[in-house]
Amino acid sequence: MLHAQDSLLVLVDVQEKLASAMHNRDAVINNTVKLVQGLRVLEVPILFSEQNPKGLGPTVPEVRQALGDLDAVTKLSFSCCGEERFMKELQALNRKQILVAGIECHVCVYQTVADLINMGCEVQVVADAVSSRTPENKAIGLEKCKDAGAAITSTETAIFELLKKAEGDKFKQILKVVK
């Protein structure tokens, strides 16, 4: 079970040139925005990466807006864990429950997930907020993540699991996010 005080979102490479080629792009971007907005309401920290932004462009505008003033970790390695800055920020946050979303599921998402699990983290992949260019590659990516030890979740499942109860101001804010 996820707990807000122990959790972190790692958002992998949701960039313009990559996203335009993704299967089910609009749904994935919409779910990613909901996920980011929901976790910000719940005060769950977010780390996000951009793979070679000079070549692949910045994070898509809808997601970038939801992220607010957070700074991207620029990377060239497929796994976020291959970047020194990412590892320093991850260690500083000291969270062991990690939600992972982004693209591409069978490459950068999977390799990040595998590395996080090997470091002893409890990882959940947000299936409706990941994609690849083909549905087959997304399915392979999710299967490899699961085989590595990750749990599979969805945007709303993760948000409501973190929220815990249907009361208060945060609940009202979350209802606006998921509708």
Alpha helices by DSSP H, the chain:
16-19, 25-41, 53-56, 61-67, 84-93, 110-118, 135-148, 155-163, 168-178
Residue 13 annotated to the active site: yes
The verdict on whether 121 is a catalytic residue reads no
Q: Is 147 an active-site residue?
A: no
Residue 166 to residue 64: CA distance in whole angstroms: 29
Give bridge partners of residue 49 from the DSSP assignment: 12, 73
Contact 81, 100 (CB under 8 A): no
Q: Which of 80, 81, 105, 108 is catalytic?
A: 108
CA gap 171, 14 in Å, rounded: 27
Tell me if 83 sits within 8 A of 73, measured CB to CB: yes
Residues that are catalytic: 13, 75, 108
